[in-house]
Structure formats: C-alpha cells, structure tokens
Structure 1
Amino acid sequence: MTNNREQFRPEDHPNDHFLLTSIVGSYPKPKWLNRVSDLADDPDSKFTDDHLHEAHDDACRVIVDEHERAGLDTVSDGEMRRNEMVEFFADRIDGYEFNGPVKVWGHNYFDKPSVVDDVEYEESWLVDEFEFTQSAASKPVKVPITGPYTLAAWSFNEAYETDADLSYALADLVNEEIEALVDAGARYIQIDEPALATTPDDHAIVGECLERIVAGVPDEVRIGLHVCYGDYSRIYPELLEYPIDEFDVELCNGGYEQIDVFTDPEFTTDLALGVVDVHTTEVETVEEIKENILQGFKVVPPERLTVSPDCGVKLLPREVAYRKIENMVTATREIEAELDAGEIDLGPEVSAD
C-alpha cells in the first residue's frame, strides 16, 4: 500500500496534521431536480432530455458548491444523475434488462434488473459525469462506483452458472471503467459493496473481484472500499488482504460498539470512519463529532484516518446533511490543531509515524 493521501491535502491547510475529510457518495437532491425528473418522464409535458441534462448539470454545480462551502477536502456531485445504485449501472451495461419493480420492504420497490446475456462494456458509465464535476470543483473529486459483487447479488442471474462467475465478469468491466476514469484524471475512487454485509461468507469472492478491479491501476490512485452496516467481525481480518488503500465503515450509528473488532489483529490499511449518523436528523455537535473522531485513533494513527459520514446522506433533509458535514469538517480541523499542540494522547498502541 502506498501513501497516496497527501495529494489531497489543500495547499492552504492550516495544520501540520491532516485528517482527510470526505463524503461517502449520495447527497440530498434539490426538490426542483426531482420535479424536473418527473416532468421529463411525463409525455404530456414540454420537458425534454436536454432540459433534464441541463438540470443535472445545475444540480451538480449546486452540490459541489455546498461540499466546498462545508470545507470538505474531497467532493462529489452527490450522485445527482443517479437514480439508484444498481439500476444506474445496470442500465449502462450490455447484458442487463429490466422487467419491472420488485417489492423489497414495506412499501418500497426496487427495479431489480436481470442479467440475461454476457455482460459487456461498450462505453463509459461515469467519465462524462466525472469530467463535468471536476470542471465545477476546485477540490479533488471522489468517484463512487457500485461494486461488482453488489451488482451481481442485487440482480437476477439468468446467464451465468454462478453468482461468483457473474461477479468476476462485472469486476473486469469495473476495471475498464476505472482505467477510463484514471485517464480522465480521477485519483480517488470508492467501491461500494453493501451486499457484502448481508452475505459476509462471500468475502473471498469480493477479494477476487477487487484484485481484478485494481489490476493495472497506478499506485497514486486511491482506492477505497465502503461496506455499510453488518457484523464486521465476520469479514475481519480477511479484509486486510484486499488490495485497497482505505476501508470505509459505518460505526457511528452503532455507537462504535464494533470499533474493537479492528484492533486485533493490527489494522494495516487506512480507515475511513463514519463520524455522523445518516439515520437521524439530529445534527451532532462539533464536540460530539470530535469524540467520535477519537474512536478512530484506537485503530490507526492520524495520518491514516479519513473522516466521513457513516454512509450516503441522500435520505436526510438537505439542510441537515449540510450542517452535519459542516460540523464534521470543523471538528476535524479542531482535532488536527489539538494534535499539533500535543493535547491529544494517542496512547502506546497508536502513535504517529
């Protein structure tokens, strides 16, 4: 694992210590964007795909600006162009088809796709999105991609002998997409594998997928893996074998009851720690978030800790999401200053290199 994190330190960073602040992916969409999307789907309206495209561009600019005003070190477009984390990609991969929504829980429906033929990579899924976001941003842009294991697990497999075979085929496509993103200038890519939390016995399949995904990717490109919720002890320490720079965990919602899972054996990759809860509209205070950040020092030294929300924040009211992230950044900068001043005792287990 190489140290590819320093490239994200701002030139005017106020402290000697640097804890990278980031966002996991999704962000609340402006209400007007949802309205425009409805109008674009209405055959009786005068809204066209061109109007929707313009609205997506405008929303991207707005959300990038919110991320930068909040002070994040790396930003995203909040996934303004994405409808759902599997549907969005399945719609762009040859071999998938849609047959209608499937009820998943309560009154919620998911347009679960089917793989009916060999999956193939025809044209980029995210490069245009990334290039536009990069043009709108003054900070480095982080690119989240739904991982191949989740793309396989949350689809009907009608073409491959096993779901593992489908996962590996999709991993090869994700590798092609990452190579295209890297060529376009992307340096921070996050693989989202929420399905691993529901089937942790498949951690070896995810590991093989990741080996395929990162094949040929330059060391300076930061690769993160996000796995939200679940019993992390069922994939630890196996995940330490994954070829990633950063493992992103959702622990704030559970009161950090699982933080000790990552202390034995020693955690050898970087840790991206969720420090605000995306499941509550209560905005954590700066002091509360600082206490949460200190939990990360039980696992890694400061130079290997990334600070982020637990997961995507798209289900929160937009003002709440902004205030949580703003407080998160403020708390992080205060922790850095206290580290500089020697006011935080890291203890014998975790000390700066």
Structure 2
Amino acid sequence: MIDFLIIGGGIAGLSAGARLSEYGIVTVLEAEDALGYHTSGRSAALFEKGYGPASVKTLNEASAEFFETNAYLTPRGLVLVGGQDQGELFEKDASDLGVQRITLEDASGHIPILNPDTVGYAGISNSAFDIDTDRVMQDFARVIRRNGGSVLTRQKVRGLRKSDHWIVDTSETFEARNLVNAAGAWVDDVARLAGITPIGITPYRRSMARLPAPGGHDLRNWPMMLGVGETWYAKPDAGKLLVSPCESDPTTPHDAYADDMVLAEGLARYEDMVTEPVTRVETNWAGLRSFVADGTLVLGPDPSDSSFIWSAAQGGYGFQTAPAAAQLVADLATGNAPRLDAATVQALSPDRLHR
C-alpha cells in the first residue's frame, strides 16, 4: 500500500513528495499530460526573501540554503519603480521589500529605458534571484523515484473515499494510508470528494505578455522591474521581456488565459515608466494564484482527519517557499518536531481556518 498519495504534480506536490519519500512510499498523481502544467509552469520564477507576508518571509528564509546549495539561483536583482506622485506608496513597498532607495541616474544605469519624465522614485534589492524552476521540479521528481515512489501524469481523480485507508479512483485505483492535497486551485474540490471541510480557496488570474527586447537592448544583466503597489512588473527572460499587469481577478479553477483588456492596461502602466513603447506582443498567457482569506499557505494535517494533509494556498509564493514548506508538511505528517518556530507553524496550520 502507498504511504503518501499526493494529488497534484506542481511544485507543492513534488516538493512535499520528495520530503515524504524519506519516510515511506510516495505516489504523485497529476491530472494533466505534464508536471507543473497550470500555476507552476507559469511562474515568474523569482526568489526574493522580502516578498510576502510574515509567515511567507520565514519560509523564504528557511528555503534559501536549499536553493543556494543546489545552485538553483542566478542573480537577477529587483528595481522598485514609482511615479512622481507615488512617494508614500514607494516608501511602504521599499520598507516591506527591504529595498534601498537609489537616484534616478543610478536606476537608469541598471535599466536604461526608465523615463526621467515620469519616474519619481527608484530603489534596488540585490537579493532577488531567478529560480531554475524546471530543474527544481524535475529534481524533486527524481528524489521521489529514487526512493521507490512514482510520479504519474494523466491521472485525473474521479472518485475518492475513506474506509480504514484512502481509496482514489482515476483510470486506475490507488490505495493509501495518507492523502496529501496539493491540487492547487482545485484543492477544495478534492476536499469535498474526501468529505473534508474546504479551506475557502480562491484562484486569482494573473496575465503575462512576452515582448521583444525593448529598443534592441541586451537584457541579460537587467534587474526585474516592479511597479509600486505591485501594479505591474517586467522581467528579462531568455533575451525577451516578460511584462505582467499583476492583476488579481478572482475566478474559478480552469486552464487560465490572459484577458486582453487587463493585459493592455498593465502594458500601459509599464509604458508610462519607460521610454520604449510596446510595439509587439509575441505571446501571452495567464496562470492562477490561489489564496485563502488571510493570504498565506495552508500546510499540515486537517484537524478532522490527520491522514488528510494539506499542501495548499501557495498563492504567488509557491516556488520560493517550496523547500521549507515541504519540510514542514513532512514534519507534521510524520510526527516530527517542526524545524520552524511555533508561531509560524500555527500561522500556516489548517487549524486556524476552522475556529
């Protein structure tokens, strides 16, 4: 019998599976044809310790050593950009992110297309890094297989029930002692099938456009740009520029696609801060960032059934928190003492949602 059956083959499921495979046989079920098809495959792929609420920042900090030791990070940097009337908002974001204010001249040295007529504030962080997200996922999958487990695609869950153990029906039938719900935007659907109270997940769409290098510039050493209030960002990627309107529009679990009007509005906000107009969008797409009401992750056994384990609500923090989040899930699922402080464990616990 399987010890830990994991529903969801994105970063949440694969990372939890890798850690849990040290304690028993793991099987990961992914509904789509490929791992990380939905949210994980559409990530901004950035590691920034200062990004997120307090519990997320703790997970970021605890994940850093794993990323650094395994050489998954490449220096990127981040420049926070504010308009001339956005001083108060700039100061708040700079404080939250740990960004150091710099002159517009210095900012233009990093990003030569910044518009001196519209940019009023700039700050820089050198602690932002690109994450090799594909290698991270594949390496977690390799750990699962190396430890005797399985990672299976095209395994859409059609039935789920509990006797003295979990029975999960796809095109096959799987039996397991423990069930890990890492189904992303679909975690509440899985919970309902299992007879477990949902956590109130809400998926939010976030769109993205890929643009040619503005002005023909070499973007390799450019930092990511982030508009204050997280109203847009622009990130170099393989010689192109990814621009997002950073929208957070609530939706339903589905294979997301970009909203043309929202994308156009976001590109206009980006254009306001730069000298090079957007003349062509090469491609666009969207992903889902799924949150519960308090905006932080849900990790650990459900209070009603300790064999039903949540690895959910990663929002926009899934990759950068994955190593520490997976370790916490494994610690709590196996009865080991968590490596994180008690306040953080409680802030991430499913128990908080059922009071």
Q: In which range does the TM-score fall when normalised by the shorter chain?
A: under 0.3
Which structure shows the bigger proportion of residues in helix conformation?
1
- Higher relative CO (Cα under 8 Å, sequence separation at least 6) belongs to 2
Scaled by the length of structure 2, what TM-score is found? 0.25
Which structure shows the bigger proportion of residues in strand conformation?
2
